[in-house]
Amino acid sequence: MKPTLVVFSGLPGTGKTSIARQLIARWPAVYLRIDAIEHALEKAGAQQLIGPEGYLVAYELARSNLALGTSVVADCVNPLEVTRKAWRDVAADTASDVLDVEIVCSDPDEHRRRVEGREADIEGFALPSWEAAIRREYAVWTTPRLVVDSAWVGVAEAAELVLESLLRRSTDN
C-alpha cells in the first residue's frame, strides 16, 4: 500500500485532535499537529504572530515522511483553499494518496461548550476563545472530502469512519 496523507481540517473545538489521535492508535502514521508546531516556533523566539510558517514546516515534515513511505496524519484548521491545495501538492509530489477529512460540529451549543470547556494539552498553549473560533476565516470547501459531524458521532466512531474510508481506498487502488 502506498503512503497516504490524511489531513484533518475544521474549526477549533470540532474534535479534530481527538479523532486524529484515535486514528493514530489504530493506523500507523506520523502525526503532525499544527498547534504544536506553531507553539514551538513561538517558544523558539518568533517575534511576530505566526502566519504560514507552521504550515510550511508541516508540509516539509509530511513530504519527508511520505517520501520514506510512511503515512502521515496532519491535524490543522486548514482554513483556506491555498492550504488545502498545498497539502494535496505534498501528496502529489511524493506519489502518495491523500484523504481530506473535514470535522464539523453542526450543533452550535455543543461546539461552544467544547471550545469553552477544553483545556490546553500543550504546556503554555493558549486556546482560542469561542469568539475567536467562530470568527476565524474558514473558506467553504470546493473539493471532495470526507465530512464527519462530531455533533452526531463520538470520537471512536469518527475515527472508525476515517479508517474505513482509508481501507476502502486502499482496496480500490
Q: Domain residues of the chain, as ranges? A: 4-172
pLDDT at position 124: 82
Tell me whether strands 4-9 and 72-75 are parallel, antiparallel or unpaired. parallel
Instruction: Determine the pLDDT at residue 48.
Output: 62
pLDDT at 50: 62
| pLDDT tens digits, 71-106 | 999 999 999 999 999 999 999 999 999 999 999 999
Contact in structure between 22 and 162 (CB atoms under 8 Å): no
Provide the strand spans (E) within 12-158: 30-33, 72-75, 97-104, 146-149
Can you state the percent helix, strand and coil of the chain, rounding each to 5?
A: 50, 15, 35
- What pLDDT sits at residue 20? 98
Low-confidence residues of the chain: pLDDT under 50: none
Whole-prediction pTM = 0.94
- Topology (CATH) of 4-172: Rossmann fold (3.40.50)
Cα distance between residue 35 and residue 39, in whole Å:
6
